[in-house]
Amino acid sequence: MVEEKTYNHLWEILSEVPDPEIPVINLVELGVIRKIEEQPDQDKIIVTITPTYMGCPAKKLFNDLIIEKLNSRGYMNVEIISQNHPVWTTDWLSEETKTKLLNEGISPPTIGDKIITCPHCKSTNTKMVSQFGSTPCQSLYKCNECLEPFNYFKCY
Amino acid sequence: MKITIENTEAKFIIRLADTSVILGQRLAEMCSSGPFLEEDIALSNIGLDLFGRAEELYKIVAKLDGNKFTPDDYVFRRNEREYYNLKLVEQPNDDFAYVIVRQFMHDVYVKEVFTQLLNSSNTELAGLAEKVLKEIRYSHLHCKDWMNRLGLGTEESNRRMQSAVDHLMKYVEEIFNFDDLDKKYLTDCEKLKTVWNNEIETTLNESNLKRNLVAPLTMRDYRDGFHSEHMGHLLSIMQYLPRAYPDAKW
């Protein structure tokens, strides 16, 4: 019981760490944090993370932010293990997270990049401007209805 | 520090890592020199993917070789002749057409290479291959678009694309002179060659470009660490800082 409580508590703490580039969602929602283990005998926390993209500039920052957050709550001995497999996928984003993204002006990923919704007027009559957007995980789109540009979170 | 690679599989994987980092460096050179803002961002993003991929590949190399060196050691502390990248990817950004044709030729090649590596008995490599294939999709689509757009564009854009194709094709032959390592770690070398030739020819055809017969270059193989003249210049820029200030940190 005690373990279970700590375990959930640690997940809650890490839910407070925002994604550095898309601060409206946190690292748990992004699916980056895969596993949190506690080794009470060594007073150590092991966090397993899966990076979103191999070349993501925020990759190193993720580690620092996680360690900083846990340290601030008194967990001083933190180890981070980075694993590439299973491969991170946008399927790990929940519907709730996708709604958050949409409300924040980022169109959430859809399977096969088929139906892209404009976050401003919710029209699906949209057009890609550039495959590559402001961060490696986003594309630049334009809405044909309200004519506003917006970012689309690419499907991986 | 002399960087050595002992493990046979590591010797194979470092070719992919080197190809990735050198092409990444070429794209990094395009940062703030792209033809327009969106394309500048696109090339930089593709470059980031290549650096990230290279880092993961070097980690696997290091692990296979007893973690004697770090990815940074491999990248910054090896000389020209100790690098095993395709000569294709070290060719300079002479013209935007060169950047695109080089990238497209590379993407078609690595797409099939990593498809074959999905079956690797090295589970880390197989896992990485799955990720690479997801990431490469966007770069591949992007370059294919440009191949069509510039090939079918104006007389001038077609001429420049054709000139890039003719020039870069000289560096292609060596890719398919497979050695024992290729045969050991790829599942089907001949298929790699066929897939590459087919896709390149299809795309050239639909872009109003030709695959002219080019005289093969009499340069020795990249697998033995041989390069074109551009490689030394590339490394001198890429490696200057860590060599001048070996303990620099930021």
Tokens of B250: 């930021």
Mean pLDDT of the B33-46 span: 92
Answer yes or no: do A44 and A112 share one domain. no
Whether B2 is in a domain gets the answer no
The angle subtended at Cα A59 by Cα A142 and Cα B5, nearest 5°, is: 125
Answer yes or no: do A25 and A10 share one domain. yes
The Cα–Cα gap between B18 and B180 comes to 19
Does pLDDT of A3 surpass 90?
no
pLDDT tens for residues B201-237?
A: 999 999 999 999 888 778 899 999 999 999 999 999 9
Answer yes or no: do A7 and A77 share one domain. yes
pLDDT tens for residues A25-56?
A: 999 999 999 999 988 888 899 999 998 888 88
**Is A131–B123 a contact, with Cβ atoms under 8 angstroms apart?**
no
pLDDT-based confidence at residue B23 (cuts at 50, 70, 90): very high
- Chain B contact for A88 (CB, 8 A cutoff): yes
Given A88, A117, A134, the domain boundary residue is A88
SS3 state of residue A37? strand
Answer yes or no: do A116 and A50 share one domain. no
- Chain B contact for A71 (CB, 8 A cutoff): no
Which segment, A69-83, A120-134, B147-161, is predicted with the most confidence on average? B147-161
**Is A134–B41 a contact, with Cβ atoms under 8 angstroms apart?**
yes
Which residues from B are below 8 Å from A55, CB to CB? 45, 47-53, 135
Answer yes or no: do A121 and A63 share one domain. no
Residue percentage of chain B with pLDDT more than 70: 100
* Domains contained in chain B, number: 1
ipTM: 0.80
Quote the pLDDT of residue A5: 52
Compute the Cα dihedral for B69, B120, A31, B54 and give only its sign: positive
- Chain A contact for B41 (CB, 8 A cutoff): yes
The Cα–Cα gap between B46 and B42 comes to 6
| Closest-CA residue of chain B to A155 | B134
Q: For residue A40, give the DSSP letter.
A: T
Answer yes or no: do A19 and A74 share one domain. yes
Which residues from A are below 8 Å from B48, CB to CB? 53, 55-57, 136
The Cα–Cα gap between A49 and A36 comes to 9
- Rounded to the nearest angstrom, the minimum Cα separation between B114 and chain A is 14
Whether B1 is in a domain gets the answer no
Range of the domain at A59: 2-88
- Chain B contact for A57 (CB, 8 A cutoff): yes
Answer yes or no: do A54 and A96 share one domain. no
Answer yes or no: do A132 and A70 share one domain. no
The Cα–Cα gap between A60 and B241 comes to 21
Q: For residue A76, give the DSSP letter.
A: -
Q: What is the pTM of this model?
A: 0.90
Answer yes or no: do A47 and A71 share one domain. yes
pLDDT-based confidence at residue B22 (cuts at 50, 70, 90): very high
Answer yes or no: do A101 and A118 share one domain. yes
Which residue, chain included where needed, has tokens 């460096």? B25
Range of the domain at B41: 8-236
Quote the pLDDT of residue A1: 39
* Domains contained in chain A, number: 2
SS3 state of residue A97? helix
Please state, as a whole number, how many other Cβ atoms lie within 10 Å of the Cβ of residue B195: 18
- Chain A contact for B130 (CB, 8 A cutoff): yes
Quote the pLDDT of residue A137: 83
- Chain B contact for A150 (CB, 8 A cutoff): no
**Is A156–B128 a contact, with Cβ atoms under 8 angstroms apart?**
no
Q: Provide the CATH number for the domain around residue A57.
A: 3.30.300.130
Residue among A125, A38, A151 nearest B41 (CA) = A151
Q: Provide the CATH number for the domain around residue B110.
A: 1.20.1260.10
Does pLDDT of B42 surpass 90?
yes
Task: Please check whether residue A83 is in contact with residue A59, taking contact to mean a CB–CB distance below 8 angstroms.
Answer: no
Amino acid letter, residue A90: T
Answer yes or no: do A82 and A96 share one domain. no
Whether B167 is in a domain gets the answer yes
pLDDT tens for residues B130-180?
A: 999 988 998 999 999 999 999 999 999 999 999 999 999 999 999 999 999
